[in-house]
A and B are shown apart, each in its own frame.
Chain A
Amino acid sequence: MVETCRTRAALPVDTAPEPRSDHALMLAVRDGELDALGELFERHHGPLFGFLLKHTGQRTAAEDIAQTVFQRMLKYRHTYRDEGRFAAWMYHLARRCAADHFRKANAAPHATDPADLQDHADDAPDAGARAAVRDDHALLHTALARLDRDDREVLLLARFQELSFAEISGILECSVGAAKVRAHRALHALRTVYFKLQHTRSA
């Protein structure tokens, strides 16, 4: 698949009858054809938003970060490399933007962070916590929110984004082995929290 995309990118873009690959579009953006970013937005903003929503747990924040990611693509388009893969670059930017968001959120007063409120509910289940876990999706959202931020990030990248571990390791700026270990540890952590919440609900 990747190979097909790369071959396509090497063809003369104007004469290719099929849609241009992500990589070819981003190269065009880099070379001044800014409208090509519109096509990339249409292709990727949905999954990117989904990743950010699950990572932050906040709809508005996820939209703001997604917007910033595309803004940075424009700003740093000259740094896009010929041998790169677009999705890996996009999630690399998304990771940085999300980190900026969390830094700012940490500087804000603690009680306004909904994720923190959910964390407190874990130790002392009350009516609010029970309401939050009333269906499986809410249960899993709660479980994700309770994961360590790095664990959540690697798990979502590994599971939702169909990236290779080589690309994930590039995004996380670590070795392939380390990325795998982190993804495995994150899955075990999610399993523990998820089953604990299920147990609380059925109790």
Chain B
Amino acid sequence: MNCPTARALFPDLLDARTPAGAHADARAHLASCPECQREFSALSQTLAALDALPTPAPTPRLRTNFYAMLEEEKHSAASVRSPAPPLPGTRTAARFAWLLSPLAACALVALGFLAGARTAPTASPAGEDATARKFAQLEKQLGDMKKLMAISIIQQQQASPTNERLQEVLVAARTENASEKVLNDLLAALAFDPSANVRLRALEALYPHADHQAVRAGILATLPREQNPLVQLEMIDFVASAHDRAAAPALEKIAQNAAFDRSVRDAARRALAQL
């Protein structure tokens, strides 16, 4: 084997995925050629340097944005599963829907007319009772529908303030030289808002103010009460990146408490190591 052929195989020899016994002739050439040994060593050094290149962690912004996006997707209409593709037969039927639909409507009208014409002359007290029962049934169904509509409207009314609260948090987040009141509002949103999305946004908005002792203390006070693992993770990231040593006891408790999600306990342990 000559030098160029052997050298073409060097990356393969340096690849952990290559079987140990592969390219025996190239290995034999390498053992006897000083020039190729130098080239092999250079490639090996390059790969070692590449492997030693540290990978810094992304900023907490990536996690915050991801979970906000996930929440948004879960709540948006787009998260409703897209319907399954239609079967070939139904697709053909759909192509003639413009013709079939009016025909079906006409057929129904005709059937109704015939049924009416046959039953009308034989109307009796028993028939009237049946009609009255049907009428009562329809009235009950109408009542149920009204109730459902009312519930739906109430739910919508409860949902809309979440967006408003989110807007408020976003406006607060954009405020430069945030006053104590703005910070307090954000901490209050973090502590009490029922929507995890709003709480995450509030936490994100508090990041630039991590140097405020009051902000760190507020987050630390909220952390044990927080129920959502995603928000818990973000809070732990916050206190870790703020290097808040006062957080150590709270993090210890989380790390040892099996009631917390495993990823949260792991994050607490990592944060303790950082502190």
Q: Which residues of A contact B (CB under 8 A)?
A: 32, 34-35, 37-39, 41-42, 45-47, 49-50, 53-54, 59, 62-63, 66-67, 70-71, 74, 78, 136-137, 139-141, 155, 158-159, 164-165, 180, 183-184, 187-188, 190-191, 194-195
Give 6 A-B pairs besides A34-B73, A45-B62 with Cβ atoms closer than 8 angstroms: A46-B58, A67-B69, A137-B52, A137-B53, A165-B17, A188-B11
Let me know if B66 and A45 touch, CB within 8 A: yes
Let me know if A62 and B73 touch, CB within 8 A: no
| Residue in B closest to A66 when the chains form the complex, CB atoms | B62
B263 within 8 A of A: yes
Assuming the contacts A183-B11, A187-B43, A188-B43, asked whether A67 and B66 have C-beta atoms less than 8 A apart, the reply is yes
Let me know if A194 and B69 touch, CB within 8 A: no
Give Cα A70 to B73, complex, Å: 12
The 4 lowest CB-CB distance pairs between A and B, nearest first, are A50-B55, A184-B11, A191-B46, A49-B58
Assuming the contacts A32-B81, A34-B79, A78-B82, asked whether A41 and B66 have C-beta atoms less than 8 A apart, the reply is yes
B56 within 8 A of A: yes
B105 within 8 A of A: no
Give Cα A187 to B50, complex, Å: 10
A to B CB contacts below 8 Å, 25 in the list: A32-B81, A35-B74, A41-B66, A42-B263, A45-B62, A46-B57, A46-B58, A47-B55, A49-B62, A59-B56, A63-B58, A63-B59, A67-B65, A67-B66, A70-B66, A74-B70, A74-B73, A137-B52, A140-B49, A140-B53, A141-B53, A155-B50, A180-B12, A187-B11, A195-B42
Q: Which positions 37-53 of chain B face chain A at CB distance < 8 Å? A: 42-43, 46-47, 49-53
Give Cα A31 to B245, complex, Å: 43
Give Cα A53 to B57, complex, Å: 10
Assuming the contacts A184-B8, A184-B11, asked whether A194 and B46 have C-beta atoms less than 8 A apart, the reply is yes
Interface size range of chain B in the complex: 35 or more
CB distance from A86 to the nearest CB of B (A): 16
Chain B neighbourhood of A190, CB < 8 A: 46, 50
Interface string of B108-119 (1 = CB under 8 A from A): 000000000000
CB distance from A59 to the nearest CB of B (A): 8
Chain B neighbourhood of A59, CB < 8 A: 56, 58-59
Chain A neighbourhood of B43, CB < 8 A: 187-188, 191
Q: Which residues of B contact A (CB under 8 A)?
A: 8, 11-12, 14-15, 17, 42-43, 46-47, 49-59, 61-63, 65-67, 69-70, 73-74, 79, 81-82, 230, 263
Chain A neighbourhood of B52, CB < 8 A: 136-137
| Residue in B closest to A70 when the chains form the complex, CB atoms | B66
Give Cα A191 to B8, complex, Å: 14
Chain B neighbourhood of A137, CB < 8 A: 52-54
Chain A neighbourhood of B67, CB < 8 A: 38
Assuming the contacts A67-B62, A67-B66, A164-B17, asked whether A46 and B46 have C-beta atoms less than 8 A apart, the reply is no
CB distance from B72 to the nearest CB of A (A): 10
| Residue in A closest to B39 when the chains form the complex, CB atoms | A191
CB distance from B260 to the nearest CB of A (A): 15
Chain A neighbourhood of B61, CB < 8 A: 63
Give Cα A187 to B69, complex, Å: 38
CB distance from A135 to the nearest CB of B (A): 11
Other-chain residue from A62, A71, A165 in contact with B69 (beta carbon distance below 8 A): A71
